[in-house]
Chains A and B, each alone.
Chain A
Amino acid sequence: MLELLQQPWPWYIAGPMIGLIVPVLLLLGSKTFGVSSNLRHVCAACMPGKIEFFRYNWKEKGLWNLIFISGTVIGGFLAGWVFNNPEPIDLSQQTVKELQFLGISDFTGMMPNELFSWESLSTVNGLIVMVIGGFFVGFGARYAGGCTSGHAITGISNLQLASLLAVIGFFIGGLFITHVIFPLIL
Chain B
Amino acid sequence: MLKNYLKYLLAGLFFGFVLVKSEVISWFRIQEMFRFDAFHMYGIIGSAIIVAMISIQLIKKWELKDSTGTPITIPPKDSSQVVRYLAGGTLFGIGWALTGACPGPLFTLAGAGYEIMIVPIVSAILGTWVYGLLRPRLPH
A residues with a Cβ closer than 8 A to B are 5, 7-9, 11-32, 35-36, 38-40, 42-43, 47, 51-54, 63-65, 67-81, 84-85, 89, 91-92, 94-95, 98-99, 107, 109-112, 115-118, 121, 128-149, 151-163, 165-179, 182
Contacts and interface: CB of A to CB of B under 8 A. Distances in A.
Contacts, number: 504
Nearest to B78: A162
A29 B111 contact: no
Contact of A23 (B26, B59, B88): B59
Contacts of B18: 9, 14, 17-18, 75, 79
Given A130-B99, A172-B86, 10 more contacts: A19-B51, A20-B55, A64-B5, A72-B12, A85-B21, A121-B119, A137-B120, A139-B131, A151-B77, A173-B89
B16 to A, nearest CB: 2
15 contacts: A16-B50, A22-B52, A38-B103, A67-B5, A72-B107, A75-B20, A79-B19, A95-B35, A132-B123, A134-B123, A134-B126, A140-B94, A160-B76, A160-B77, A177-B97
A70 B9 contact: yes
User: Looking at B15, B35, B64, which has the most chain A CB atoms within 10 Å of its CB?
Assistant: B15
A132 B98 contact: yes
Contact of B93 (A53, A161, A170): A170
Nearest to A177: B97
Given A77-B112, A170-B89, A178 B66 contact: no
Interface in B92-122: 92-104, 106-114, 116-117, 119-122
A171 B42 CA distance: 12
